[in-house]
Every structure is written in structure tokens, then in C-alpha cells.
A and B are shown apart, each in its own frame.
Chain A
Amino acid sequence: MPPFLRYTIGIAVPFLSVIPTVPLLGRLDVTVLGAPLALIWLFCCIPLTALCLAIVWFGHDSKLPEEHIDADYDRGGPA
């Protein structure tokens, strides 16, 4: 998966589905099952976001080599 597609699916789609889409939908006087359309759409963004991240994971990141780094924690504190 090319980097442009990875960032578009993984970042741009979830962000644009929430902002500015939800505030814009909030201006419509439409309800679904008695709840505002913006609220229903926001709830739909939850599985949509998981799907976007899953596509990025299975399409690219799951194939990345595992990183093995031994941490030296005693170096981390003040000298």
C-alpha cells in the first residue's frame, strides 16, 4: 500500500468523517429514530474508523518487520 493511500485511509477519512461533517450535519433538522442525524452519523463513524485502521493494518503495517530493542531503563533517569 503506497504511503499516500495509507495516510488517506488511516487519517484523512476518519478525520473528515468527524470534522467538519458532524457539525455540518448538526445544522440539518433531520432525525433518524428520534435522534439527530449528526448523532447517528457520529455513531456510524465508530465502525468506519475501525475499518479504516484495519485496512491500513492488514494492507501494510502487519507486513512490517518486528522491532527488537532492549531498553536500558537505568539510563533513563537523571544522572
Chain B
Amino acid sequence: MTIAFLSIIVLSLVLALFSKRGHGHQKAEDFFVASGQFNTVLFFFLAVGETYSVATILGYPGGVYANGTGFVTWFLGYILLAFVVGYFLNPLIWRAGRVHGAVTMPDLFRRHFDSRALEVVVTCAVLVFLVPLGMQQFLGLQVVLKTLGWSISPLLLTCLAGALAFTYILISGIRASAYVAVLKDLLLIAAILVTAIVALQHWGVATSAPSAAWKHAMTPTLKGDLFSITTVISQSLGFCVVPQTCAYVFTARSASAVRRAQVTMPLYMLMFPFLTIVAYFALLHPVQVSSPNEVFPAVASALLPAPVTGLVMAGAALSALVVLTGICLAIGPLVSRNLVPGLSNDQQRRWSQVVIAFYLLLSIAGAATSSQLLVTINNLFYFGITQSLPGILGILFARRMRPSAIIAGIVAGDLIAIAIFELGIPVGGINPGFIGLLVNSAIVLSALYFAPGEARTPVAAITPRQSASL
């Protein structure tokens, strides 16, 4: 198992080194968004690599195991519909990125609205919610590494994983991330298919039954349905304004490359039925599971030969590492380009690496002291990130949106979402992020109607002919 696992890790490093070929000295834009040179295939793997994080391979079966199919509705629903929203919005975000020379999402706000205050507010709001996401990847890594049964302290193993992610980044930034994502996705598909097919072969007669609590969770309620519907709406819309997603869109060579990739992305979700089979196998058979997040590794190690389990775990570990590099490469320029003013191109790249190292250490420390369910962190992340949506839509479609209205909307939306979640304010099951987004949109739209700002050409109104001459 160990040899198979380590072989894949070595192969990933070789791929990362290969990605550097022909790009010896990278400028900041090449390091963070590959100078917008990726074709459909590389953009596809980078973007779906982000979609299928460790929250998918561990969190999804864990969620089905713990909460039943009510969980499936919103988890699958929002990812599926995010591809639909992305098909229509991402080509416009790509165009906005090109027109404004953007490496990060706050770059768009800075250039379009010519507002440093808006850039700083968007950057801070995004950073606050990105921090727990790194912790989520390390929590997942801890579950995966535990399955390998090595007699090394979990903290040391997590530090080694963090060092590996940092190495990918140092080698060639986003290019390494994309090349490793190809390996990770192929491995992940194989891992899920093999585990599910072997589970079906071993199905036989179910020897245990779901608990009464699980059956109760399966019973549809109005509150549960409201949560599902509002979560699907807010997170599918919010997916396009995730900072990493924006950065990945900026790596694409053309708007057509983005659209072509978006068409095929839903098909990549066909692995979810197989993950559901794994979760149901754990529910109906006596598999030793100490926490819901361990369902997938537990079934894999119970049914598969040791070397194959090693490959499966390597796929899961790479899924965490690839997403981690994506988060790091989003956070680095947010600080060195959007928060700290006046750094040169080379300085932005170097300072980003320092910020990334610090962020990795912070996430490792956070993971060592927290054991929240992976999916809960996923929700918290979307509560905040989604609040950038009205501003982005303003860049794409509105002529007279005020930067101050966007700032007020983001601050109000974030505060309301967090207050509802943290104080446990009863809202009938409605997703707190959705309520925040409604208030945020109301503020922005009211300002647009009652106190419009100066006229700016929205990105959607720039025709390809015009944009070619910019």
C-alpha cells in the first residue's frame, strides 16, 4: 500500500517538473494564471479538479452516510447547476479578466470601478472565508493518511503534505497545479469506480440496517426542502465568484475554451452515483467507521487489496493537495497584489510565496485543533464568498453601479449570514448565505435605481470586435 501511494506522489512531482518545461522564468501572471494560455483540456482538468476536492470523495459519502438523501439534493444540485451558471457567466468573466488584465477577482473591481476601497473590501471579505478552506483540505488529508496506518505522528504527516503542496507551487505555480490535476482526476475516477464496483460485487445480503436517526433524516420536511432549494440557488450562483474559479477562468486561452469545457463538466459528475453506492454499502454492511468522513477510506480498505487501496488513497490525497494549491495560488496574489500596494511583478510572485507558506502553516494548525464535518466548512465558505456576486454582475451587466453600494452590500450580506449561523437565529431552514445575498442584492439594486453612479461600459456590452481593439 505504501509503495503504491508513494509512487503516485513521486509521479505527481515528475509531472509538476514537466509542467515547467519552456517556462523557465515565470512572471507573476504566468505563475498565477498561466498568462491565459491554457487550452480546453487543461482548463477542464483545473476547473473540475477544484470541483472534486477532498470534500467530495470524503465529505459526500460521509454526508449520505450521516444525513441521507436530503443532503444529496443540495450537494449534487448546486454543483450541477453551477456548471449551468458557469456556462453563461464564465465566458463574460474571462472577457472581463482580459479587458482589465486581471489575475485575481478583486483586480476586476479595482479596474472596472477605479476604486481602491472596493478592491480592499472585496479582498478582505474573500480572505476571511478562504482561510477555513485550507483547513478543510488538511482535515481530509488527515483522514486519508490515517488509513495508510503509518506509525508517524498525524501532525508531522500533515506538515509533510503541506510541504508537498508548497513544492508544487514553487516549481511552476498554476501550471504544476493543472498537470497534477490531470493525474489526480484520472486516479480519482478509477478509485471511485473500482471501490463502488467491488462494493456491488460484495453486496450480497445486507446484514445491518440504517439507524432510526438516519431514517428520520431521510423523511422530507419543509425546513429541509427550504434549506436544499436556497442552498442550491445561492451556491450554484456563488460558485462562479469563488476566487479560485475566477483565477482558473483567467487561465483559459479563449471564451470558447471556457464554454467547451463547461459543456462536458456535468458528465464528470457521473461518478456521484458510484460514491452513493459506497455510502449505502457502509450503511447496510458492518463496516467499521469511526466518523462519517471515514466512510470512503473504510470501505476501500475493507474491500480492496492493499496496493489498490494505496492507489485509491493517493487519488484522495492528491485531490486535497491540488485544491490546496489552487487555494494557495488564489490567496498569494490577493495579498501581494490587492492588499499590499506598489509591488513590482517579481515582488508580487516572491511575496505570494511567503504568504502561501504562512497560510499553509496556519491551516495545518487549524486542522490540528478542529474536527468539524468537512461539509460544514464548505457551507461556511459559500456564505461569504457568494456575497461578491452582485458586484460581479454589476461589472458584467450594469452601467451605473456605485462602488460604495457594492461595499455596503458585501458587508451587510456577510454580517447577516454569519450572525444567523453563529447565533442560531431561526429562519425556517433558509440558507443564511441566501438571506445575506438577498439583503446584499437589495442594497445594490436600490442604489442602482435611486442613486445611480457614473456611467461605465459593462463587460457584456463590449462586443468581440470592440474588445479586439482594446
Interface of A is mostly: helix
Q: Which residues of A contact B229 (CB under 8 A)?
A: 19-20, 23
- Contact flags (1/0) for B35-78 with A, using CB distance below 8 Å? 11000000000000000000000000000000001101100110
Q: Which residue in chain A gives the minimum CB-CB distance to B111?
A: A76
Chain B positions 299-326 with a Cβ under 8 Å from a chain A Cβ: none
Chain B positions 256-286 with a Cβ under 8 Å from a chain A Cβ: 256, 259-260, 262-267, 269-270, 272-273, 276, 280
Checking B101, B266, B270, B467 against A75 with a beta-carbon cut-off of 8 angstroms, the contacting residue is: B101
A47 to B80, CA, bound (A): 10
Which of the candidate stretches B138-146, B186-194, B334-342, B358-366 sits at the interface with the other chain? B334-342
Nearest-Cβ distance from residue A50 to partner chain B, whole angstroms: 4
Contact A73 B110 (CB under 8 A): no
A45 to B262, CA, bound (A): 16
Contact B337 A77 (CB under 8 A): yes
Contact A78 B263 (CB under 8 A): no
Interface of B is mostly: helix
* B100 close to chain A: CB less than 8 A: yes
- Contact flags (1/0) for A21-43 with B, using CB distance below 8 Å? 01100110000000110110011
Q: Which residues of B contact A65 (CB under 8 A)?
A: 464-465
Interface size class of B (residues with CB under 8 A): 35 or more
Given A19-B232, A57-B263, A75-B111, do A26 and B464 touch, yes or no (CB 8 Å)?
no
What would 29 A/B residue contacts be, using CB atoms closer than 8 Å?
A10-B84, A14-B81, A18-B77, A19-B228, A23-B225, A38-B69, A39-B276, A42-B72, A42-B73, A42-B76, A43-B273, A45-B80, A46-B272, A49-B84, A56-B87, A57-B259, A57-B263, A61-B259, A66-B254, A68-B467, A69-B99, A69-B470, A71-B100, A73-B28, A73-B101, A76-B111, A76-B337, A78-B119, A78-B340
The interface of chain B, by Cβ under 8 A from chain A, is 27-29, 35-36, 69-70, 72-73, 76-77, 80-81, 83-85, 87-88, 95, 97-104, 107, 110-111, 116, 119, 218, 220, 225, 228-229, 232-233, 254-256, 259-260, 262-267, 269-270, 272-273, 276, 280, 337-338, 340-343, 345, 348, 464-465, 467-468, 470
